[in-house]
């Protein structure tokens, strides 16, 4: 199956939405489930189009600001673990923050030994490395790359039993990926605010 990374379509106004309770917005994390009933509070920038996926610059965690219509389409597909946070806004369209949850230790659907990894230090790409597990990856980052560097995966090899239609790869990549069948469904339903770029994935074998 082919996979694609999600790309925000270029809106006339960027960002389209601004969160007003920024302290709460900054608490949102891909590794922590928020408890309580607090909602995000948002306003649309003047003249911004109410697309199904909105651009924003407040929340650093990997996720999407989605309309109720987009959320309904996604409900028919298999997404990685997630949290849906309601949004109060001045928009005519109801919106939600779709926050993905997970850590690299939980990623057992990536074939580490067959995938290709590289690292950066001080923003400069340094070289390739190999690892056989998430534990080895974390140790390489700690012992070789250090706090001023980062590790990345280029060619991504999925395990044969992988079945997610929307996901991201914690620790290695902040991009959000979708399966070909979900991409087709989003296009067939006329979902606005998103574009797609083919991603380098293969299934092990």
Count up the domains in the chain and report the number: 2
List pLDDT tens digits, range 9-60: 878 899 999 999 999 999 999 999 998 889 999 999 999 999 999 999 999 9
Residue 164 belongs to some domain of the structure: no
Which domain does 120 fall in, by range? Answer: 116-154
The predicted pLDDT at position 12 comes to: 87
Residue 167 belongs to some domain of the structure: no
Instruction: Indicate whether 47 and 123 sit together in one domain.
Output: no
Instruction: Indicate whether 92 and 62 sit together in one domain.
Output: yes
Instruction: Indicate whether 97 and 124 sit together in one domain.
Output: no
The predicted pLDDT at position 117 comes to: 97
List pLDDT tens digits, range 122-152: 999 999 999 999 999 999 999 999 999 999 9
Residue pointed to by tokens 């891909």: 30
Instruction: Indicate whether 16 and 97 sit together in one domain.
Output: yes
Distance CA 167, CA 50 (A): 24
The secondary element (H helix, E strand) that includes residue 188 is helix 180-188
The predicted pLDDT at position 194 comes to: 96
Instruction: Indicate whether 90 and 145 sit together in one domain.
Output: no
**Is pLDDT at 94 greater than 90 in this prediction?**
yes
């Amino acid at each position: 199956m082919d996979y694609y990374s999600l790309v925000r379509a270029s809106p006339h106004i960027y960002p389209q939405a601004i969160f007003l309770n920024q302290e709460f917005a900054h608490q949102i994390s891909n590794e922590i489930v928020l408890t309580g009933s607090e909602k995000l509070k948002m306003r649309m920038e003047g003249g911004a189009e109410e697309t199904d996926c909105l651009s924003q610059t407040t929340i650093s965690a990997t996720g999407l600001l989605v309309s109720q219509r987009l959320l309904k389409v996604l409900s028919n597909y298999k997404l990685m673990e997630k949290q849906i946070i309601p949004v109060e806004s001045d928009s005519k369209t109801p919106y939600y923050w779709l926050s993905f949850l997970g850590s690299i230790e939980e990623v057992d659907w990536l074939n580490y030994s067959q995938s290709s990894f590289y690292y950066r230090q001080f923003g400069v790409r340094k070289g390739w490395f190999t690892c056989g597990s998430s534990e080895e990856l974390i140790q390489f980052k700690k012992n070789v790359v250090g706090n001023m560097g980062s590790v990345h995966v280029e060619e991504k090899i999925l395990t044969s039993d992988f079945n997610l239609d929307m996901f991201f790869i914690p620790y290695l990549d902040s991009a959000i990926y979708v399966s070909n069948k979900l991409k087709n469904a989003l296009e067939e339903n006329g979902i606005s605010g998103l574009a797609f770029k083919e991603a380098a994935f293969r299934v092990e074998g």
